[in-house]
Every structure is written in structure tokens, then in C-alpha cells.
Structure 1
Amino acid sequence: MTAMPAHRHHWDPFEGSVTVMPSAPPRVRRPPFDSGLVQGILVIVAVIALFAAIGLHLFAGTAAALFAVGVFAASFLALFALVLLGDEEGWTRWLLVETARLNGWTPVALDPAGDIVRAGGVDALYDPRSNRARVELAPILRSRLGQMLPLVPTGFYYGAAPGGMPFWMGVEIINVILLAAPRVMRTDPFGNTRLAGRGINFVIGYRLARNTLIEAHLLAETLGDSRRDFDTESIAFNAAFRVTLTGDTAQSRTRLLQVLTPAFMEKLLELERRYRIQVMVRGRHVFLRGYALVNLRDPHLTAPLFAKIVADLAAGAEGFKHYAE
């Protein structure tokens, strides 16, 4: 494996130009095996055994209930052992670094032994840049009715999208077990069907070539939001997004509505259907937060899918600069 350079210079949406020390592969090893699927089976067995113990205690006596309790305890201990032996945290960090290496990006994996701090309403590992991101991007990172899954980044990527547009990406990689799910839920947006995979919770910031002169949030629509935002000509778009502007003046509303052409709104709706996106526009910086299921664990297979996510959302971000041009 080729060693990464000691330092790299990148665009950062919060600090401008930064010097980044990439997370090195020797410090983020590949674990001996991936125990995610086995962990999922043990969790299901433990849950069934727990409810069985309660039912057996009520209707079949103590002896049968004790057997179910034993199954529950054995499953729990086996799960604990797999978490330690499988080094799931190490696997995730290794995947983060390998995906970056294969895509030519710079990875920054947060130290899991670091201090825990509260920023943006959530407890998370301390990192100056990530804490700033959680505070400044809180409207699209925190949980809300339209987007129940909050984002707490455990690593970052710096790189360039197709066409050379620089990007910064905060990512949280989550184990997903889909043993009891129907096939439609076990199939990711890229057509892969598996019983286990990775949930990629992410936010990507792009730097546009021109200032959009727009400061806006496009958040997942929830009950009652329609009374507090303004409507576009698209009923589907209004149902999907709550649109708000900073300093809601007639001029800023006009700028945004000129950008939101029918074709661009359909593009954003397509991204919302695929990635459940929310958007924050801050002048020449556009942030898109979303989620994707990737039912693959080999980084040689997942790296192109990560790159596709970056490319898909870059096309969405660029749509906001048309009015500025």
C-alpha cells in the first residue's frame, strides 16, 4: 500500500485554505474479519430469547424461562466478544482511509480515544474543524421530523469533484443489518442487494466559481412547515422541501426563485428521492446533507459509489450558480 504524503493543502469551507495531515494507513489497519452480519443475527437471537423468557416465565414455569435467559446471556456475551475481536471501529476507520486512497482524496479520521464535547446539540469527538461544522451547519445536521437521523461526523474527506470543483465531506459510516427487511429495503440506490451493508450519513460542501448571492435553507418538509415557507410553482417540490431565506427580502426571494427553474427543481427532487438531501446555500458555498445505503463492504467496490455520491451532489450544487452567471 502506498504511503500518503505528510501534509496536503485543501480548500476548507470554514477556514479557507488549510493544511491537512491525512490519516495514515498504518494507523488504521484492516480488522481480521467483518463481524457485522453475525452481530445482527446475535442481536435478533438475544431479543427473541428475552421476550421468550418473559413469556415462558408467565406461562410455562421457571425452568423453561431460565433456559431462554441462558440463550439471551450467551448471545449477549458472544456479541460483546465479536465487537472486541472483530474491531468494528477499526474496520470502519480502515474503510474510511481506503476509500479515500482509492479515490485520490485526503482522509481525516477522528481519534476514537479523543475527548467528547457537546457541539451543535450533540455529544461528539473533539476536533476544531468538525465542531465548527456541527455548529454552523446545525440546521441540516440535526434531527428533525423530516430527517430523523442526525449527523455526527467521525471522519472527513477533502478532494475535488469531477470538473475540479473542490469539496469537503463530513461522513459517518453506520453498520446496517437488514436480515428481516423486505428485498426492496435490502436493495441500495446502486442496485446492490445484501443482508448487511453500510449506511453513509454525510454532508458535502462545495465551493462554486461564483457567488450566488443567496443565503437559504432547503430542509425536509415536516407537518406545519408549509405555513412558514414560500411556495414555488412545483407542488412536488413544495411537499419535499421547506424553503427559508436569511433576511427574507423580496430581492433574495427573487434570486432564489430565478435559480429554482422547473428543470433544477426536478434535479433536486431526484437527489432527495435518492439521498434524502437537505441543502444550505451560503453565497458561493453550497452544503448538501444526505444519506445512502451501500450494501457492500469491500472498499474497492464502495469507493466508486462514494465518488458517485460526490459527483451527483456536485451537479446539484452547481445549479445554484446559474443566476450568478
Structure 2
Amino acid sequence: MRILIAALLLALATLPAATQDRTIDDAIEAAIEEAIRPGFAAFEAEAHSMAQAVATLCASPSDAAMEASRGRFDSLVDAWGRVEFIRLGPLSQDNRLERILFWPDRRGRGLNQIQAVIATGDETALSADTLAGKSVAVQGLAALEYALFGTGSDQIAAGQASERCAYALAISRNVSTIAGAVHDGWQAESGIALLWRNPADDNPLFRDEGEQINGLVKLVGDAFEIIKVQRIDPVLRDDAASMRPKSALFWRSDNWVPSLAANIAGLQALVDAADLQATVDQERARFIGAMNFELANAARALGRTSLPVQAIAEDDEAYDRMTYVRLVVDGLATVSATRLKEIYDLSPGFSSLDGD
């Protein structure tokens, strides 16, 4: 932590000064129009393509169709990772977040349910309509990954697992439906976008400019904390020897590092669009610029780590890079919850992980 703070201070001395020429309204407007709406549109499009690919696989099983479906899953994970922390409004309603991704799966209870569905050929899980009423653990991306990459998944390409493929198709269509609902919620001019843009005494979410900017600051800070506490710490542990690859999200599809890279890319897109540096004076702008600098460093480190999570434990350089990413994310979580809030005269709030 002290190392990161020192790096931030060094960056403060080298970054150019900014001009205070943007309002909080401008920042929120840009975040919505340039990052959030395009991000959820991309996620909806990838979810639709995922469902189409699996439909083709189920209709005509083959190695090529299986490879295409797995490739679409990689793209879907990337699109999801860029928006999964936008938990204001539509994504937080109707259990949509958990239905898209049930994680962390403590004690493997979700995995047990997924395996039971596949083992029994549960008919209520083979249609998107009925799947939507089942446990959130069997509805989303973790379940889809197991269906397409888990033990026995190769039987789909051989035409020997039609029920498993039907389950994968039901999941894909279910995720596509949810993605469409979230996208529509953000597109609606009378919904969350209107409320966030227009703080007022009678606004149920944002009564003033402080609550307006706090919505963005808290979103970013919570994202950093979730990445470290739920996505990195359980995997890296204290050293390479004690690393737990199978505790990683999306380890079966080799998407642990890509999903983290997507998380960071999505946060970069959000903060770049908002351009918070232009909403404050020069001294405070330099601090925000230093945070952006460290975020870019984390993105570069992840971009240089192409190994599957299982191989990272055996590669000192790759493990060190991931440890560096953890250090940066931890520091960004701390300064987002403290210094960034101070910049906007915001009171420290509760962590999204409090009570977990």
C-alpha cells in the first residue's frame, strides 16, 4: 500500500495540470452516453450472438460449432466484465446481477446445483422460460461455462449430450433476455439515466450534486474492492506455492485474466468518459490523474499476462505481475474510498462487501 501511495505521489509531480471546465452534470452525462449505454448495448449484442451460436451447435453438433460457441463465450465474458460493476438501477433489479453471474460460489453449492441439472437432465432447466424461475446459481455465466467447458462437455460436439446442449441454449437465451432488459432500462429516458442526470429534492436516488457524483465515485471504489477481495485474493493467496487456480472465476475457460482485464478496461472507459479531472481544481485534478495512471498500469500488466490461471502458479514472472495488479487495485480501492471522496466533500460510506 505504501509503495502505491508513493507511486501516486510521484505521478502527481509529473502529470500535467488540468483546467476546471466541466460540471458534475457534464461528467455524469458523458459517463452514461459514452460508456454505460454503449457498454450494455455491446453486452446485449454478445449475449444474442452467444445464443445463436449455441442454437447452431445444438442443431448440428460438430467440433467447429463447439469451437465457435466457446469463442462466443470468451467474447461474452469480455463484454460482461466491462459493465458488471454498473450496479445502479437496471442491473440491481429482479436479481439480474445474480442471475447473470452467481459469484462467489461459496462452498461450491452453485456448482453442485449445475452438475445436478446436467446429471438428471432436469426438464425445467432446458427452456429459458422455466430456467428463469429456478435458482440463480443455475441460470448464468458460471453455469454456461460449466456446460460448455466442464467435465463431459466434449460430448456435445460428438452429438452425445443433447440435453446438456439444450441446457446451454436455455442459459444463453436467458442471459440474452436479461441483457436486453438491462440495456432497455438504461436506454429509457424516464429511468435511471433521467434520475442520475437530474438531482432534486424529490429524486429518490440523487437529491443533490453530492449524491450525484457519489453514485459514480462509489461505483468505481466498490469495483476495485470486489476485484481484489472476490476475484484476486482467493486465487493468488500469499505466494505461488499456495495459489488456488480452481478458486478463480472462469478458470475452466481460461478466462480469469481476460475477465480481470475486461473489468479494468470497463472502469477505464467509465472514468475516461466522465473526465473527473476537469471537474476539480488543478491540485485535485493531479491526484485523479495519478489514479488514472495507476489504472492504466494495471491494464498493461494484465495485457502482458496471457497464461491460464493454472500456469501462473508455475511462472514467477506471471505471478509477480498478478501480485502487482493486486497491489494497484488494493491501493485504488483505498484511495477511492478516502481521498477521492474527500475531493468531492463526500462522507465515507459502507463497502459493498460489508456484511459478506
Q: TM-score, normalised by structure 1?
A: 0.30
Of Structure 1 and Structure 2, the greater strand share is in 1
Of Structure 1 and Structure 2, the greater helix share is in 2
Based on CA coordinates, which of the two structures has the bigger radius of gyration?
1
Q: TM-score, normalised by structure 2?
A: 0.28
